[in-house]
Structures are given as structure tokens and as C-alpha cells.
Amino acid sequence: MSLSAKLNAGFAGAIVLSAFIGFVSYHSTATSFEQARGARDSLQVLDQLQALLATVLEAESAGRAFRLTGDETFLDACNRTVEAIPGQLTELRRLTLDSTAQRAHLNDLEPAVAAKLAQLNRSIDQRRRHGFEPAVQHQLTQEGAATQRLIRTIIHRMRSEEQRLLDERAASAERAARRALTLIPAGSTVALLMITLALLRIRHDLRERQSADRALRESEASLQSVLNAATEVSIVATDSRGIITVFNSGAERMLGYSAEEMIGKRTPEIIHLPSELEERGRQLSAPAGRPIRGFEVFVYEARQGGHDLREWTYVRKDGRHVAVSLVVTTARDANGEISGYLGIAIDITERRMVAKMKDEFISMVSHELRTPLASIRGALGLMAGGVMDKHPDKARQMMAVAVSNTERLGRLIDDILEIERLESGSVVMTPQSRPAEDLLQQAVATMRPMADNARVELRIDGTATQVYADPDRVLHTLTNLIDNAIKFSPPNSTVTVAAQRQGSEILFKVQDEGRGIPSDKLEAVFERLAQLDSSDSREKGGTGLGLPICRMIVQQHGGRIWAESGEGRGTTFFFTLPAADEIPTAPSEERKRHNAG
Amino acid sequence: MPAKRVLLIDDEDDIREVARMSLEMVGGWDVITACSGIEGLEKAAAERPDAVLLDVMMPVLDGPSTFAKLQENEATRSIPVILLTAKVQSADKRRFAELGVAGVLTKPFDPMLLPRHVSEILGWKE
């Protein structure tokens, strides 16, 4: 039952009960009044009967005095007394109108009184006309006495009856008063109880409602927090007509619209590419047998049950496109009716880009592997086909092609595996403290034959400084960079390798005097297989993976690598590695030193 | 009937050499070579070969761009072009098919069969 219904029921009960108590009180009071009036009437009847009897006796007494004395004074007194009798009888009849029994008695009393008065008149008349005659008077007295007894008897009955009525009325009034005295406090108590219970119930319900409201507010706040915390996910909810009702911070961030601009004002159509919407609408319309367009395109599948997951292109407020994976589901009310829709989208631009890059890398690796393989296959195919049999010089040329391309293929495979190992993190760097100049000397010694072959001078410009790095990987990096520098150096030029302290790092550099790298390519040379756009590197037997490998090695040491160049000014590759004295000493090494000391 | 003259455009020296030997020694054709798209355009216009074998991945002017320029030039428009490529992904093949070239041959190729495959594509009788 709702709070309002409970309120109404509680107060209606209290009002009905109060009305009942009021009615009972009124009824009891009215009864008391009525009984009191009746009692007053009864007392008057009793008084009146007493007065009537006294009047009759007084008239009888005055008449008897006149008969005995003949004194007219008594007769006057008698007459005055008798005159009061009709009024007394009339008053008695009025007072006993509500009692059948009393009226019957009165019917008997009135003729008895009349008879008594007639006898009195006769005896007075007899005395006046014939004087005092004892025998006659005696007889008249006897008759008067009989009538008087009758009157006494009737009055006695009437008094008894009136007394009974009086008692009955008193008892009735007492009962009514007692009932009222019982019902009023009891009813009031019950009414108060009901009101109290209703109020308690209301207070309980109010508390429950307040608690539910608070829980709902907390739940809404929590939901809003979740929605807003999903900054990388666009969450857009609509009502059943498509009007946006929720537009979370992720949607704001992804689409550039504010929630205020969208909620209650727009449908999701505004954030979709119209051409995609039309195309999807056409796809849905055919099987549906009716045109599906506008907002229905997004929700048609979800309405059929389940959810609809597909890729779309969102259009930001600034017009830029965002590739998204959008899942649309329905929201249903307690009756299972669709009350709205929910669309959750994630930005898949990066995913698509990564997939595209992966495809491109595979494509390029495939191309790069197939290129030397094509030379090997072609050279060997020609020899195996016998066409070289009569051309030994060409056969040797083809053999050389096969050998050099086999070596190139080997280097390429090594580099691809190396870069994959570095990317996957399976290569563990084992840094050690080493003099930087030692590493430069080793790298130069390794590359010296190649430099001599290319008539390029290698020069070391090192300073005494300690580097903390994996020596094998540093040598790999240095030889890669020197290899590149020699390849792109003209004969009789110099390649300088150097290392110097710079703050907390050691700065290495490899400088050539070649033709340089265009400034817009300085960053791209570190991309995987960047050489594909430049036959220069391939011409020089490079795999296009050397510089990306160098970058990974340096980055895994926490360093940076970059190139500086200018057309015709040569190129300098720089990279940094941690200086040895900047690395906190490991406890074990400290212990070793302590023990050694 | 004079020998066919084929222009071979590829920036890879070794592949160019292998293909040249294949076309000359197995096919018995005259082969003109170019190491870049730009050089290829010049030689195509000057030599008017019967066909062009064109590498796809080349710096500066790649195979598709070279083909487009051959098509733009009245003098070279009618020369059939066959792409010779190490790009064998299905997306690449679809892209090449849409260019309007006479055919596509993939690397590595069998040098003993290369002239036959070219002839088949171009409808040449051996």
C-alpha cells in the first residue's frame, strides 16, 4: 500500500471513530437530558399529586367545618380550595402525557375527584337548606369517606407508578452516562492509538522512503561516477524515441560535444556518418520489407533481441572521423517494454592502425625476404636449367649473385628475429660498468676492414668515462651506426666515433661526411623497414632494420637516439646511455667491495 | 620475324641481371634495362619496346606511378606492361589488378619459365 493510501486509511479510521464517539456522546447526553426532564416531570407529578390530595383533604376539612358550624368563613375557604382543583388536574394531565398508565389512572382520578366535589357540594347544600341533621350528615360523611379512600388509592397508585418511572429514568440516565463515560475515553484512546499508529507508520514509511531516496541518490551518483570514469568509452543512452538521455564524459571526450548540448536535444544520428547510416538502412530494409532509416537503423537489430555489435564511423563536432566498435542494447522497464537504448562505443582507430601497421609490416617483411630470394632462385634456376653451361663467366656471376643474396637473406632474418626479440622483451640486458672508450675501440676494430675497403678513415674521439650498459648490445648499436656511416661516406672521408660525459649520461655519436639525410626523413629512418622508400640502404646491402634495432637497444637502457643532418653536411647519429657512477650500487656489489677491502 | 624487345625496369641490380639473362638466354629476346622508373620512362619512349616488365617497389617513382606515366604518354600508351613484384598479399594483388596492367608476375620467379609466362600473358607465339 502506498504512503498516501496508508495516510488516508489511518486518518479515515480515526475520523470514523471520532464521529462514532461523538454520536455516542451526543446520544448519551441527549438521553441524559431526556431522562432528567422526565425525572423533573415525575417529581412535579409527585408534587402535584401530593398537592391535589392536600387540596381535596383541605376542601373536605373546610366543608366539614361549615357543616358542623354553619360558619360561611369555612365555606369561603372551601370554595377557594376547590377552585384550585381543575388547574391541578390539568397540570397532571399535561405532565403525564407520555405515560399511558398514568393517563389511565388520571381517567379514574378525575371522576373520583368530581364525585368527591359533588358530594361536598351536596353536603354543603344540605346544611344550608336543612340545617345540621346528624343522620343525613353522617350518611354524606360516609359516602365522602369512601370517595376519599378511592381518591387516595388512585393517587397512591399514581405516585407508585410515577416513582417507578422516576427510578427507571434515573437508571436510564445513569446507564447513558456510564456508557458515555466508558465509550468516550475508550473511543478516544482507540482513535488516538489509531492516529499514533498511522503517524508511526507514516514516520516509518518516510524513513524508509528517505533511506530508499538516499540509496537511489547514492546509486545514481555511483552510476554517474562509473559513467564518467569510463573516459575511454563512449556511453550514450536514449529514450525509446532516440532522444539522448545519457552522454558520459567518454562520449564528450571522443566526440567533442558536451552533455548539455546533447541530452534531451539530439539523437545519435548527429554523431554518425550519414553515408554509413544510409548504407546500413538499405541493408536492413530489404529483409525487413519496409524502409528502415534514421534512428531505427541503430536499434533495429537490438529490438529483435540481444544486442547489435558492429563497427561505425563517428563524426566529431569538429568534423573529424573516429572509427568505433559500437554495441547497442535495449533497456526495458519492469513490464519488459523497451524504455530506451544504450550504445557503448570504443575507439578502434588505434586498433585499426596497429592492424594496418602489422599487415604492412608482414607485407614488407614478405617483400624483403622475397627480393633476395628472387635473385637466388633466378641465379640458381638459370644454372640448373643449363643455360649457363656454355657461359662459365656468367655462371660465376650468377653464383656470386646467389651467394651475396643468401648472405643478405641471412642478415635480414637475423635482424627480423632480433627486432622481434627486442619488441617482445625476451632479450635481457645485462648492464655492466665499462669504459666507454673500450667499447668505441672494439666497435672500430670490428668495422675497420669494411672502412678500409671503402677507403674511409675511422677516428675515435673518446674521453675517459664509464658507461653502465650491456656491452654486447652497445657494440651492436655502435657497429650498426658505423656500418651505416661507412656505407654512406664517400671515399677518403672520415667517420668519427666519440663518447663524452653529459650530465648523468654518456653521449655517443657517430658522424660521417656523406651527403646527409633530408630533415623530413630524420625521424623516419628509425622506423622498421624505412629503407623501403630508399633504395640507398638496399643498394648498400642494408636490411632496413638496423636503426630500429639500435633505437630499441638504446631505449631499453633508458637512453635516447636521434640523428642530425643537412643536405651535403653529413649525418651525425647520437645516443645516450647511463653513466656508471649514476647507477646506485647494488648491495651485493657493495658487500663484495667491503669483503675485498 | 625480329626478336621481341622487352624493357625491364627494376631497382634491384641482381634481380635485373637474373631477369635479363632469363629473357635473353631462355626467351631469345632483346632486353633493355632501367634501374628506376624515371629511366624506364625515358627508355620506353625512346626504344618503344614490345613490352615492359616493371618492378613495383622502387624509390622516387614506384611501379604503379611509372605505369600511370606510361599511360599518359601517347608514345608509350600502347606498350603492354607486366608487373613483376615481390608483393604477394591479396590486398596488393587486388590493387594491381585495378591498375589496368596486362598482367602480374610474382618474385621469386623461375627464370627458365619467365619468358613463357610473359608470352602467355601477352599472347605471343613462341
Q: What is the structure's pLDDT at A3?
A: 62
Does residue B122 sit in helix, strand or coil? helix
The whole-angstrom separation of Cα A20 and Cα A26 is 10
Task: Report, as an integer, the average pLDDT of A139-144.
Answer: 78
Do strands A307-315 and A244-247 pair parallel, antiparallel, or not at all (unpaired)?
unpaired
One-letter identity of residue A99: S
DSSP secondary structure string, B64-101? HHHHHHHHHSTTTTTS-EEEEES---HHHHHHHHTTT-
Contact check, Cβ <8 Å, A398/B21: yes
Q: Spell out a b/e string for A173-187, using b for 16 or more CB atoms within 10 Å of the CB, else e.
A: beebeeebeebeeeb
What backbone phi and psi angles, to 5 degrees, belong to A433? -85, 120
Task: Report, as an integer, the average pLDDT of A434-449.
Answer: 93
More confident residue, A270 or A131: A270
For chain B, positions 27-46, list CB contacts with chain A under 8 A.
none
Domain ranges in chain A are 3-203, 231-347, 353-421, 428-582
- Annotation: CATH topology of A428-582: Heat Shock Protein 90 (3.30.565)
DSSP secondary structure string, A110-152? HHHHHHHHHHHHHHHHHHHHH---HHHHHHHHHHHHHHHHHHH
CATH number, domain of B49, equals 3.40.50.2300
More confident residue, A510 or A569: A510
Q: Considering chain A, what percentage of its residues have pLDDT values greater than 90? A: 35
The whole-angstrom separation of Cα A526 and Cα A528 is 6
In the predicted structure, residue A584 carries a pLDDT above the cut 60: no
Contact check, Cβ <8 Å, A374/B109: yes
How many folded domains does chain B comprise? Answer: 1
The whole-angstrom separation of Cα B89 and Cα B87 is 6
Question: Residues A271, A277, A280, A281: is their CA dihedral positive or negative?
Answer: positive
The whole-angstrom separation of Cα A159 and Cα A54 is 14
**In this structure, are residues A273 and A284 in contact, taking their beta carbons and an 8 Å threshold?**
no
A319-343, pLDDT tens digit by residue? Answer: 999 999 999 999 888 888 889 999 9
More confident residue, A124 or B11: B11
Q: What is the structure's pLDDT at B60?
A: 84
Does residue A565 sit in helix, strand or coil? strand
Task: Report, as an integer, the average pLDDT of A6-33.
Answer: 77
In the predicted structure, residue A185 carries a pLDDT above the cut 60: yes
Q: What is the structure's pLDDT at A588?
A: 43
pLDDT in single tens digits along all 126 residues of chain B: 678 999 999 999 999 999 999 999 999 999 999 999 999 999 999 999 999 999 998 888 999 999 999 999 999 999 999 999 988 777 787 888 889 999 999 999 999 999 999 999 999 976
What backbone phi and psi angles, to 5 degrees, belong to A134? -55, -40
Burial (Cβ within 10 Å: 0-12, 13-18, ≥19) of residue A573? buried
Which H or E run includes A450?
A: helix A436-453
- Establish whether domains A231-347 and A353-421 are of one fold: no
Q: Spell out a b/e string for B4-15, using b for 16 or more CB atoms within 10 Å of the CB, else e.
A: bebbbbbbbebb
Pick the closest to residue A454 from A489, A408, A480 (CA basis): A489
Q: Is residue B126 part of a domain?
A: no
The torsion of the CA quartet A131, A134, A135, A141, rounded to 10 degrees, works out to 100
Q: What is the structure's pLDDT at A223?
A: 81
The whole-angstrom separation of Cα A466 and Cα A469 is 10
CB-CB neighbours of A46 under 10 Å: 18
DSSP secondary structure string, A84-112? HHHHHHHHHHHHTTT-HHHHHHHHHHHHH
Q: Where does the pLDDT of residue A577 fall: very low under 50, low under 70, confident under 90, or very high at 90 and above?
A: very high
Contact check, Cβ <8 Å, B15/A374: yes
The whole-angstrom separation of Cα A422 and Cα A164 is 125
Q: Where does the pLDDT of residue A98 fall: very low under 50, low under 70, confident under 90, or very high at 90 and above?
A: confident
Q: What is the structure's pLDDT at A532?
A: 44
In the predicted structure, residue A595 carries a pLDDT above the cut 50: no
A456-469, pLDDT tens digit by residue? Answer: 999 998 777 899 99
Q: What is the structure's pLDDT at A362?
A: 82
The whole-angstrom separation of Cα A204 and Cα A190 is 20
Average pLDDT, chain A: 85
The whole-angstrom separation of Cα A362 and Cα B59 is 20
The whole-angstrom separation of Cα A249 and Cα A225 is 10
* Omega of the bond leading into B108 within 30 degrees of 0 (cis): yes
Question: Residues A391, A397, A400, A405: is their CA dihedral positive or negative?
Answer: negative
In eight-state DSSP terms, residue B59 is: S
Pick the closest to residue A255 from A239, A274, A277, A270 (CA basis): A270
In the predicted structure, residue A397 carries a pLDDT above the cut 70: yes
Task: Report, as an integer, the average pLDDT of A39-66.
Answer: 86
Number of Cβ pairs < 8 A linking chain A and chain B:
93
**In this structure, are residues B34 and B61 in contact, taking their beta carbons and an 8 Å threshold?**
no
DSSP secondary structure string, A504-544? TEEEEEEE--SS---GGGTTGGGSTTGGGG-HHHHHTT--S
Q: Where does the pLDDT of residue A582 fall: very low under 50, low under 70, confident under 90, or very high at 90 and above?
A: low
Which single residue is written with the C-alpha cell 658522424?
Answer: A511
Question: CB-based contact (8 Å) between B107 and chain A?
Answer: yes
In the predicted structure, residue A502 carries a pLDDT above the cut 60: yes
Q: What is the pTM of this model?
A: 0.56
Q: Where does the pLDDT of residue A534 fall: very low under 50, low under 70, confident under 90, or very high at 90 and above?
A: very low
The whole-angstrom separation of Cα A417 and Cα A543 is 12
Q: Identify all chain A residues contacting B18, using CB atoms and an 8 Å cutoff.
A: 374-375, 378-379, 382, 398, 401
Q: Where does the pLDDT of residue A2 fall: very low under 50, low under 70, confident under 90, or very high at 90 and above?
A: low
Pick the closest to residue A496 from A506, A486, A505, A504 (CA basis): A486
Question: Residues A222, A228, A230, A235: is their CA dihedral positive or negative?
Answer: positive
What is the nearest CA distance from B76 to chain A, expressed in angstroms? Answer: 26
Contact check, Cβ <8 Å, A533/B59: yes
Question: What CATH number should be reported for the domain whose range is A231-347?
Answer: 3.30.450.20
The range of the structural domain enclosing residue B77 comes to 5-121
More confident residue, A57 or B7: B7
More confident residue, A65 or B15: B15
Task: Report, as an integer, the average pLDDT of A180-196.
Answer: 79
* Class level of CATH domain A3-203: mainly alpha
Task: Report, as an integer, the average pLDDT of A228-240.
Answer: 87
Most confident of A131-145, A194-208, A475-489: A475-489
Q: What is the structure's pLDDT at A416?
A: 86
Cα distances (angstroms) measured from residue A117 to each of A63, A81, A124, A131, A517: 10, 11, 10, 20, 163
In chain B, the residue whose alpha carbon lies closest to the alpha carbon of A408 is: B14
Task: Report, as an integer, the average pLDDT of A545-563.
Answer: 92
The whole-angstrom separation of Cα A483 and Cα A533 is 19
Q: What is the structure's pLDDT at A311?
A: 92
In chain A, the residue whose alpha carbon lies closest to the alpha carbon of B21 is: A382
For chain B, positions 36-95, list CB contacts with chain A under 8 A.
57-59, 86-89, 91-92
Does residue A466 sit in helix, strand or coil? strand
Question: CB-based contact (8 Å) between A333 and chain B?
Answer: no
C-alpha cell recorded at residue A132: 345540621
Contact check, Cβ <8 Å, B18/A532: no
Pick the closest to residue A338 from A281, A309, A310, A300 (CA basis): A300
What is the nearest CA distance from B106 to chain A, expressed in angstroms? Answer: 9
The whole-angstrom separation of Cα A364 and Cα A371 is 10
DSSP secondary structure string, A35-81? HHHHHHHHHHHHHHHHHHHHHHHHHHHHHHHHHHH--HHHHHHHHHH
Q: What is the structure's pLDDT at A148?
A: 84
C-alpha cell recorded at residue A17: 471513530
Q: What is the structure's pLDDT at A573?
A: 95
Contact check, Cβ <8 Å, A385/B111: yes
* Class level of CATH domain A353-421: mainly alpha
Pick the closest to residue A444 from A475, A472, A490, A469 (CA basis): A475
One-letter identity of residue B82: I
ipTM: 0.94
Cα distances (angstroms) measured from residue A366 to each of A358, A363, A406: 12, 5, 16
